[in-house]
Structure 1
């Protein structure tokens, strides 16, 4: 089901988490929250929206990482119901598209729930204090027209790194709904 992210709740304090990558290495959010902020992206493998932006996301997060802005990705989908999102496929997909950031498994979906993630991709741009400053889209490109795109996420994260505050005008990200376990609906 197609979903849009909610408007940015400026100043919302992101709850800390520790999740493991598919190889079992733990990553704690607060350890990656540097003086220039942190991007936390909720992603998955199977979503056509993520697949459509995967290369551009690799390019843009590479830029952010090179500029000292942290990036973590969380996969909250129920991979038992969506086998293509299984951790074994996460590693392969990330390598194929060139993602350099840790891609973490939210096994019990508690991080996705605590953060209010609604779709993939869902981007949360935090300042150095861990306060939300961006909840928008990657760029203005469509599925078939990435040339000449406006790199909105990069611009927002650079502004956050520089000033601690995100842009007031933000357009929502759009993607597939998070696949919650049936107990949640």
Structure 2
């Protein structure tokens, strides 16, 4: 398990658009199709990463808590499925069903979307405002597999609350940490 940090895309960056297939619905969506009225959370993740598995329940709770407030939630897997077949689209569908992921779980086969977001790890979080400008990028919270810190989602939840309620983020944004994206 390679420990890789986020690249920390500059705040204010406009969300790169994409057209990707959703492994939950078999439909193809763009960022524009899935964005929320208050903002949009894009999460780069995959099926097998222990960092993702550690935080998945909190990601799902955040999606459920904030979608009703106008937050769009999008998950994207960009891993090379030749070397990592456990991240193939049909297994993504099964993974989403088993874990009750009911937001789009998109497959980035070309890896161009991950490159356009400068994504580096799983999980990697990008929160965009309602003008599609990057408002927050970084970690969910300080919890990591086996570090003893309880999962809370505090960093990401604070950022989402600030976005929705028009507040300024005061705390420094810490990079996410996880497995590296499996590049071709």
Distance of 1:150 and 1:78 partners within structure 2? 28
Q: Given the two structures, how large is their TM-score scaled by the length of structure 2?
A: 0.90
The Cα RMSD (Å) is: 1.9
Q: Given the two structures, how large is their TM-score scaled by the length of structure 1?
A: 0.89
Pair 1:21–1:164, CA change in 2 (3 A): farther
Q: 5 Å matches for 1:1-185?
A: 1-22=2-23, 23-144=25-146, 145=148, 147=150, 149=152, 151-163=154-166, 166-167=169-170, 169-181=172-184
Which stretch shows the higher mean deviation, 86-95 or 167-176? Answer: 167-176
How far is the alpha carbon of 1:142 from its aligned partner? Answer: 3.3
Deviation digits for residues 6-58 of structure 1 (CA, Å, limit 9, x no counterpart) = 33511011111111112531111012223311000101001111011111211
Q: Aligned with 2:93: secondary structure?
A: helix
- Is contact 1:127–1:164 with CA below 8 Å preserved after alignment? no
Pair 1:91–1:146, CA change in 2 (3 A): farther
Deviation digits for residues 72-130 of structure 1 (CA, Å, limit 9, x no counterpart) = 01111011110110111111112222222100010111101111110100000000111
Which stretch shows the higher mean deviation, 26-35 or 128-137? Answer: 26-35
Distance of 2:63 and 2:113 partners within structure 1? 21
Gaps of 5+ in 2: none
How far is the alpha carbon of 1:154 from its aligned partner? Answer: 1.8
Distance of 2:169 and 2:6 partners within structure 1? 16
Gaps of 5+ in 1: none
